[in-house]
A = this chain, B = another copy of it.
Amino acid sequence: MIQFEVQLGTRAYPIYIGAGLLGEPRTLKQHIRGNHVFILSNERVAPLYLESVCRALEPKHILHLALAEGEDTKSLQTLEQVYTCLLENRCGRDTTVVALGGGVIGDIAGFAAATYLRGVDFIQIPTTLVAQVDSSVGGKTGVNHALGKNMIGAFYQPQCVIADLECLHTLPDRELRAGLAEIIKYGLIRDAEFFAWLEDNVERLLARDVDALTHAVHRSCRNKAEVVAEDELEISGARAMLNLGHTFGHAIETGLGYGQWLHGEAVACGMLMAARMSTRLGWLSEEACERTRALLQRAQLPLTLPETLQAETLLEHMARDKKVRAGQLHLVLLKDIGQAVLTGEFPASTLKDTLQEFCGS
């Protein structure tokens, strides 16, 4: 088992990475203070892992809610359903909320924990690759609004993150690939050595080689933890780098309707858009841009958009991004592989041209 800490002072917490961890009582129980545990999962994950987790928690009093699968559930309506379940069962402040699932479950459960009785304890047990390498670490929680993704939320750190690599065996191929997008992201924004490793090992990851997956999850979480420790609340700009491809990606997700593309798929295409735009601006070499495209393609991620999606539509959704400041959209772009920048200094026409290159209209 690998163990290391997200260094956040009084809010510091450990990340555990290993095979079979979610059924291990010792790892889990030391982080639960009270006697009540509320497990949030979904209809796919619960039949696979709920029993193991419950067994590891014995003799705690356990309450469980399984949501429908998919990004659609990440709504205020679901949140209300969670609150009602907690209240009907008289869960007090000594309740620990456990997120057992992917990013959607982690985001809802974390926001519910942040806001139920003004905050109760929270544990992340991410079961997808995206959640293990990205969304479960760093305390971003929240739900979507019809007018935009992740528009409602809070920064709220968990007590610990338990990434069980065995969960990756049951993950659908498409979700595994979506996870690779976020892994590649760390290489692109701040870890050129890791990017080169990924160029050598992407096929091993697709084949679910355990050693390769362990290395990729560990290296990704380390990168994420370092960034979060530096800029927990996304103030200095360091944390914003983690959004490479995300402003484009969120616009794609909103434009297509949540759930058409997986988040990681949209981010993959968004990262290529950011790379292309960086090249258009003369900031990123053609060669580095091509390396980016090639790796994303070998990871079998979608790099072209459905013809139905218009550049104008994407632009409109991007204008609602959280990184709009004083009316100016800010984007994470690339200076090199391993070096990202957050900037609002680009001609609007370059953004438009980039979008049209992908939309073909």
Contacts and interface: CB of A to CB of B under 8 A. Distances in A.
Contacts of A323: 93
A158 interface: no
A9 to B, nearest CB: 12
A302 interface: no
Query: Copy number of this protein in the oligomer?
Result: 2
Interface centre among A34, A152, A153, by most B CB within 10 Å?
Answer: A152
A49 interface: no
A76 B327 CA distance: 29
B154 A92 contact: no
B326 A115 contact: no
Interface residues of A, number: 42
Interface in A68-89: 76, 79-80, 83-84, 87-88
A322 B92 contact: yes
Contacts of A92: 322, 324-327
B142 A118 contact: yes
A116 B151 contact: yes
A315 interface: no
Given A34-B326, A140-B118, A88 B147 contact: yes
A237 to B, nearest CB: 12
B152 A83 contact: yes
A228 to B, nearest CB: 13
Contacts of A145: 80, 83-84, 87
Interface in A123-163: 140, 142, 145-148, 150-155
Contacts of A84: 145-147
Interface of A: 34-35, 76, 79-80, 83-84, 87-88, 90, 92-94, 111, 114-119, 140, 142, 145-148, 150-155, 233-234, 319-320, 322-327
28 contacts: A76-B80, A80-B145, A83-B145, A83-B151, A83-B152, A84-B145, A84-B146, A87-B145, A87-B147, A87-B148, A87-B151, A87-B320, A90-B320, A90-B324, A92-B325, A92-B326, A93-B322, A93-B323, A114-B154, A115-B115, A115-B152, A116-B151, A118-B150, A118-B153, A118-B154, A118-B155, A118-B234, A119-B233
